[in-house]
Structure 1
Amino acid sequence: MPKALIILTSHDTLGDSGEPTGFYWEELAAPYWILSDAGYRVELASIKGGRPPADPSSEADEAVTAAVRRFWADDAAMHRLDHTERVEDVEVSGCDIVFLPGGHGTMWDLPESDALGALLARAWDAGAVVGAVCHGPAGLLAAKLSSGAPLVEGRRVAGFTNAEEDAVGLSDTVPFLLQERLKASGASFQCGPDWQSFAVSDGKLVTGQNPASSAEVARLMLEAANLPTVP
């Protein structure tokens, strides 16, 4: 059975605002079910382990999709979420796909995690598909290849845009603008219209722009997992 690893943020506060944040439910649930239904054994991890925090905005009625409701109703899925393994304890060998959902929490802890960066580099070197959506690509910033180059350097990458960050009123709250940091790391930043599904596959690196892109990222990851390994 092929294996997928989903890694979530453990950060629960929007900077100094005191407002809660965490991972975004749709960005976990849609890929979880698409991968699971495709025959993957899906495991969950987080930066600190245990139950990761969810962004309350992703629990609002307009944000809750059928995939989210299915996740909430599934005892096995919720048990996995309650007992995520710490990233530093995860054995990534044998993983065919490693995926980073977003949520604003990712902007604080994923880029600062040496353990995550090392895990992503090992997965990439082993030929795994590496995927991320929305703010999840912040975690890609932690990963450097054996050459020392950033994983995203010279590759087409999507993520939450400056315009979308402005629209949610958090451009001055997040520690950096994801679009700008990805470009500064050498990525060719790609985007579509605000809030519309947009995802890009560059070999075995698959990224998406926003919550609406979550399912498309999962589908592209499945396609990329069947590609020959390339540097």
Structure 2
Amino acid sequence: MSKQLKRKALIAISSFTGDIYPGGHRTGLFFTEALHPYEVLTDAGFEVDLASETGTCGLDFNSLLPPFLAGSDKAVYDNPKHPFQVKLNSQLKKASDVKKEEYGVFFASAGHAALYDYPTAAALQATAADVWNRGGVVAAVCHGAAIMPGIIDAKTGKSIIEGRTVTGFTIEGEMIFAILDKLRADGVVPIVEAVTKVGAYYSSPMNAFDDYSISCGRVVTGVNPQSARSTAERCVRVFDTQQNA
């Protein structure tokens, strides 16, 4: 089945942009959590689209500060003509408008924003489920795993992560960002609780900001911004393994 899949990927982007951080700063897309997968996937020969549930997005305040944005990543951010910036700022698709049958990979980027909109992002979830049910790879980094409980396996009627091992942003990390109380007050569910509730096994790195990603069958997850690149690299390897099986 997977041999029929196109070498085409959809990177999901959160559309939520609320001011949740201390000081009234806003969340949104964590810039490098979409940029790094885009770079890895395009380097591996994938055609890549970006889409959010509403067709709109904003950028996470913290993602634009050092050490999270520096060097070549900042150069991309500062260059509005860079292909990634063009995709993000003028070609971002609305999830309900994409042709979901075209994709062999679904990759959920994040930012704290993902906790707010991914659990109810029906069109993004449907696209991911279509990729999964055709034998494709579904991946997420950091808070992107918030979409996983709602991606349903057509054969089981349950989440694709039931019985699988996944990772995502840690409770320790939420405490470092001084955001956990705000998340609780807003009624959003941290990743570890969201995934274990649907029967997944949560795997944590030694430290909250270690580069840590894992594969469990066709599900690939990474824990934080530092893991976005390695998560995408795993995603490519899993896809190619499926293609060559």
Q: TM-score, normalised by structure 1?
A: 0.92
Match of 1:2? 7
In the alignment, structure 1 residue 184 sits paired with structure 2 residue 184? no
Aligned partner of residue 49 in structure 2, secondary structure: strand
**SS of alignment partner, residue 44 of structure 1:** strand
2:141 equivalent in structure 1:
133
User: Do 2:119 and 2:149's aligned partners in 1 also have CA atoms closer than 8 Å?
Assistant: yes
CA-to-aligned-CA distance 1:104-135 (integer Å, 9 cap, x gap): 11011111112222211111001111110000
Verify: 1:222 aligned to 2:228, yes or no.
no
Aligned residue among 18, 39, 43 for 1:33: 39
> Match of 1:202?
216
Is the contact between residue 33 and residue 67 of structure 1 (CA under 8 Å) also seen in structure 2? no
Q: Which residue of 1 aligns with 2:103?
A: 95
Residue in structure 1 matched with residue 150 of structure 2 by the alignment: 142
Superposed CA offset, 1:140-197 (max 9, x none): 1221122221111011100001111112111122211211111111111111122101
Q: 2:65 aligns with which of 56, 60, 67?
A: 60
Equivalent runs, 1:145-156 vs 2, <5 Å: 145-146=153-154, 147-156=156-165
Name the counterpart of 2:50.
44
Please tell me the residue identity of whatever aligns with 2:142. C
Residue 30 of structure 2 corresponds to residue 24 of structure 1: yes
Alignment-mate amino acid for residue 181 of structure 1: A
Unaligned runs of 5+ in 1: none
Q: Output the CA distance in 2 between the equivalents of 1:76 and 1:87.
A: 20
State yes or no: 1:213 paired with 2:227.
yes
Residue number among 132, 136, 157 corresponding to 1:124 in the alignment: 132
1:169 is matched with: 178
RMSD (CA atoms): 1.8
Give me the whole-angstrom Cα distance separating, in 1, the residues matched to 2:125 and 2:32: 24
Q: Deviations over 1:15-38 (max 9, x none)?
A: 598531101111111111111111
Could you tell me the TM-score, scaled by structure 2's length?
A: 0.87
* One-letter amino acid of the structure 2 residue matched with residue 77 of structure 1: F
Distance 1:206 1:91 in 2: 22
How much does 1:66 deviate?
4.0
The structure in which a higher percent of residues are helix is 2
**Cα deviation digits, residues 34-89 of structure 1 (max 9, x gap):** 11111111111111104x10101111121114452353334332121113111111
| Structure 1 runs, 4 residues or longer, greater than 6 Å off | none
2:84 to 77, 86, 89: 77
Contact persistence 1:9–1:23 (CA under 8 A): yes
Percent identity over the alignment is 29
Structure 1 residue 11 displacement after superposition: 0.2
Determine helix, strand or coil for the equivalent of 1:164. Answer: helix
> Which moved further from structure 2: 1-10 or 123-132?
1-10
